[in-house]
Amino acid sequence: MVEMVDKNLLMACKKRDKHALTELCKAYERYLFNLCMAYTGNSHDALDLVQEIYIKIFRFIDKYDVKKPFHPWIRKVAVNTCLNFKRASPTNVISLNTVTSDNLILEDALASNEDLEEKLEKIELKESMKELLEKLPSRQRMVIVLRYFEDLSYKDISLTMDQPLGTIKTDLYRARETLRKHLTKE
């Protein structure tokens, strides 16, 4: 989880202090990347989204109320950025530069030949899950990410997405049903 951000740092950010803005970005870079990665399924798009989030933070930090917790505010900026994200062309190609769960590059894993079949199965499962999530409408995908990757309550998801609690529950139900149907087909 992200460490608590000092109110003095936030006040300096509101005054457009470049050093403070850099420190704020450093504090949140891993969190934002993981959130965007869970949503997009690939590091290239996730990095693009993180950069876009940083730009929005720089532009709108003056609207942030320092009396309120910062984490929900930045999460809301990230979620809205992800929901507005439009991919120009979907990619179904697995690069040999893909990093496996063991932090190995796929090309190296293929060359090493140890537990190759198991590693390929994990990569295949990860790609299948990515494809399934991409079949969901954007709002349903974000609800899944916030619930299962961020472990947020329904109420917190509702606040983050500015949607009624009933809408969140419906989106989550529909997303689960869609995923269940796709899983039973295969």
Task: Give, in order, the Cα–Cα distances in Å from 174 to each of 60, 99, 141.
Answer: 33, 32, 10
Give the Cβ contact number of residue 163 at 10 Å.
Answer: 16
Give the number of C-alpha atoms closer than 13 A to the C-alpha of residue 76, restricted to the C-beta side: 15
Q: How far is CA 30 from the centre of its chain?
A: 10
Query: 38-95, pLDDT tens digit by residue?
Result: 888 888 889 999 999 998 988 888 888 888 889 999 999 999 999 888 544 344 334 4
By mean pLDDT, which of 2-11, 67-76, 91-100, 120-129 is the weakest?
91-100
Question: What pLDDT is stored for residue 171 in this prediction?
Answer: 92
Question: Which residue stretches of 85-164 are H helix?
Answer: 106-112, 116-134, 138-144, 154-161
pLDDT bucket at 168, cuts 50 / 70 / 90 = very high
Average pLDDT over residues 16-26: 89
CATH of domain 1-86: 1.10.1740.10
Question: CA-to-CA distance for 73 and 78, rounded, in angstroms?
Answer: 9
Question: What pLDDT is stored for residue 67 in this prediction?
Answer: 87
pLDDT: which is higher, 132 or 64? 64
State the pTM of this model: 0.65
Domain 135-186's class?
Answer: mainly alpha
Give the Cβ contact number of residue 57 at 10 Å.
Answer: 21
Domain ranges across the chain: 1-86, 99-133, 135-186
Question: What pLDDT is stored for residue 181 in this prediction?
Answer: 82
pLDDT: which is higher, 97 or 62? 62
Question: CA-to-CA distance for 142 and 40, rounded, in angstroms?
Answer: 10
